[in-house]
Structure 1
Amino acid sequence: MSEQVADVGRGIELTYERQGQGVPLLLIAGLGQQKHEWHDGLVTLLAERGYDVVRFDNRDVGKSTHLRFRPPGPAQLLRKRWDPKQYDLGDMALDTLGLLDALGWERAHLAGMSMGGMIAQTVAARYPARVSSLTSIFSTTGAARVGRPALSTWGRMFSKPANTRDEHTDAAVRMYRHIGSAGFPLDEARIRATAGTTWDRDPRPAAGVGRQLGAIMKSGDRTRELRTITAPTLVLHGDRDRMVNPSGGAVTAAAVPGARLHTLPGMGHDLPEALWPTLAELIDTHIRTTESRSSDAPKH
């Protein structure tokens, strides 16, 4: 795989990688995550099942376009006072749509985790003709009092930003000890390697993460919009998630017509290697079922 850059419009360029051939599948990363947090092993499993898999850096992370305004602080987030340049999930959905255009994909299956699930939901709601199916992984609707981080998680989110690569990797280990999948062994070596790659591609990432968090908070409660989604939807959530409470998965599935909720015991707010085959199988089965129903539909 080699990195490529797509001009998605409005002054935004997104860096992406592509693997496999076949059915178009776009993977959308979460808050502060870069494309490689859709881990190589999981991407390979999906590609081997016959998918043309694309993963990418959202705006403000990795090697995609970074905005330059000051990110909102805790007080601004609480008071919902936004910089005039603060974007929202709708803007990030337009970025995603621009990437589909750049890839020449009329339609694609979307899978998003955490904030990436929110972006995928927004694309599916606003641009239904472009979405073949939706898989929303440990995400939520933005509704109050559900799907929220634990109080102990908020404190970690607003801890002092790292100034060095070592500080960044240490902080990643501490965070995933807290929000990771408690039902599975913690792979500290992989966490450090992933965090190191993140730092190498985008040192001092805190500002971009803050602007992305502003996008989530600015977008507010999207439940009404999710009720308009027509794409076949699978909602995946762990029962040990301290970043997005499992209630977030429940309300997402309840909001999207016909959505199916699948709870993964022991999973937190990460994708442990032990679950990669299960995740690949769940996503593949969902997409294959969707493709089968589409091919069986009466032609007009």
Structure 2
Amino acid sequence: MSEQPVPTAPAGPRAAALSDRPLPRLTTLPPPWPGADVPVRGGHVFVRHTPWRGPVEGDGRGAPRERAVYVHGLGGASTNWTDLAALLAVRFDGWALDLPGFGRSQPPPRGRYSIRGHAGAVVDVLEHVRQRPGEAEGQPVHLLGNSLGGLVSVLVAARRPDLVASLTLVSPAMPVYRVPPAFSRALLLLLLPGIPSLAERRMAGIAPEQHVRAMVRMCFGDPRRVPRQRIEQAVEEMRERAEQPWADRALTRSMRGLITSYLRVGGTNAWRMARSLRMPSLVVWGDRDRLVDPALAPRLAGAIPDAGLHVLEGVGHVAMLEAPEPTARAVLGLVERRDVPMSRAAAAAPRSVRP
């Protein structure tokens, strides 16, 4: 009798390649990048631009110059990407948007804060960025999203792969069917009629300083890593946001839209969409994430074909804020890995011969 082969355990997700290229030294924290309104369906969103600076080591002639779009999470803003965009400027011209109703962006049409609506705004910004004159005009754009913005980016990449050169997901809010310990179970009440309005009134009574302290405790693996300057900027931003009559509505209604999206089945389910992705992809997660379970990291990296996985020790939910340099090295590693087969293909392509 022949022996039966011993089944082998399935291989885990591929470890992300990390770039060793020189990066800018952020000896002083850059201020928020300037921005302007960009038209999207039904209105405008505010978009900050981080200009390409080229290689740190010198002459940028012939160096890659591509484009990237950054999408923040629930309760966040385009300023969440300030430091990471500064590091990635060695390769990218970057655009970070405020989703409708967040940061300096106006509310969406009819006040509908659905995941699909946010995805539509991101698609419009990607098309705007792709069409801008310049070296990378007409080329797909690198898309990076965190938390809610990560979930939105999965939907965008699945529906419009022609717009996306690569996809980086930082602790994306993928569907789960239990409430994270950091959340109150009362959040589930947002699904009930009338409850979001009550939540908005309660949130309006929270002082900006108190709100920022709570967010730092919840989102960072080690709150002591947050520079005082960034805390002061966040408080000022929260004060500015408190003056907008739609601010609390945007947060509670987007949370409701997020929870509602988890109930989708079939082709519109985010996990099924993730399995359909074919562009180079990267999953970045902090192992101290209190908002989205880090156990989802290998599951998601395993669901997306050939995605790289980079888990950051001691980091929480917003790796681009808490650990911008390790995050930048993983993103650059992704696109540099993508460069290799492209350069080989170019070398193997037949060259035209002039008569």
Corresponding residue number in structure 1 for 2:325: 277
Alignment partner, residue 81 of structure 2: 38
What is the CA–CA distance in structure 2 between the aligned matches of 1:248 and 1:203, rounded to whole Å?
A: 37
| 2:239 aligned residue (182, 199, 207) | 199
Deviates further, 217-226 or 289-298:
289-298
Are the structure 2 counterparts of residues 292 and 193 from structure 1 closer, same or farther at C-alpha, using a change threshold of 3 Å?
same
Alpha-carbon separation, structure 1, partners of 2:231 and 2:186: 17
Match of 2:295 among 240, 244, 247: 247
Aligned residue in 1 for 2:278: 230
| C-alpha spacing 1:181/1:197, structure 2 compared with 1 (3 Å) | same
Q: What's the counterpart of residue 335 of structure 2?
A: 287
Alpha-carbon distance in 1 for matches of 2:120, 2:344: 31
Instruction: Quote the Cα distance in structure 2 between the aligned partners of 1:183 and 1:33.
Output: 17
Q: Is the 8 A contact 1:34 1:198 kept in 2?
A: no
Distance 2:349 2:234 in 1: 46
Q: Is the 8 A contact 1:183 1:265 kept in 2?
A: no
Asked if structure 2 preserves the Cα contact closer than 8 Å seen for 1:173 and 1:188, the reply is no
Distance in 1 (alpha carbons) for counterparts of 2:161 and 2:321:
32
**Cα distance, 1:125–1:273 mapped onto 2, change above 3 Å:** closer
Q: Does 1:18 align with 2:49?
A: yes
Structure 2 residue runs without a partner (length 5+): 1-32, 53-64, 132-137, 188-198, 263-268, 351-355
Is this contact kept in 2: 1:183–1:266, CA < 8 A? no
Residues 235 and 23 (structure 1), Cα distance of their counterparts in 2 relative to 1, 3 Å cut: same
After TM superposition, the score normalised by the length of structure 1 is 0.82
Q: CA deviation at 1:183?
A: 8.0
Q: What is the aligned partner in structure 2 of residue 131 from structure 1? A: 164
Partner of 1:153: 183
C-alpha deviation, 1:186, in angstroms:
4.4
C-alpha deviation, 1:32, in angstroms: 1.7
- Residues 222 and 3 of structure 1: CA distance in aligned 2, closer, same or farther (over 3 Å): same
Aligned equivalents of 2:218, 2:174: Cα separation in 1: 23
**Unpaired stretches in structure 1, ≥5 consecutive residues:** 70-84
Percent identical: 24
Q: 1:252 deviation in Å?
A: 1.7
Contact 1:24 1:52 in 2 (8 A): yes
Shift of 1:188: 4.9
| 1:213 maps to 2:245 | no
Matched, 1:182 2:222: yes
State the partner residue of 1:76: none
Counterpart residue number, 1:50: 91
Indicate yes or no: 2:151 matched with 1:118.
yes
Q: State the structure with more CA Rg.
A: 2
2:121 matched residue in structure 1: 95
Paired residues of 1:12 and 1:65 also in contact (CA < 8 A): yes
Do the aligned partners of 2:113 and 2:250 also contact (CA within 8 Å) in 1?
A: no
Task: State the TM-score, normalizing by the size of structure 2.
Answer: 0.70
**What is the aligned counterpart of 1:29 among 65, 72, 81?**
72
1:68 Cα offset (Å) = 7.5
- Paired with 2:154 and 2:342, the residues of 1 have a C-alpha distance of 20
- After superposition, the Cα gap between the structure-2 partners of 1:34 and 1:246, relative to the gap in structure 1 and judged at 3 Å, is same
Q: What letter is aligned with 1:89?
A: I
2-side partners of 1:185 and 1:161: how far apart? 27
Partner of 2:213: 173
Distance across 2 between alignment mates of 1:2 and 1:237: 28
Query: Letter of the aligned partner of 2:116 in structure 1?
Result: G
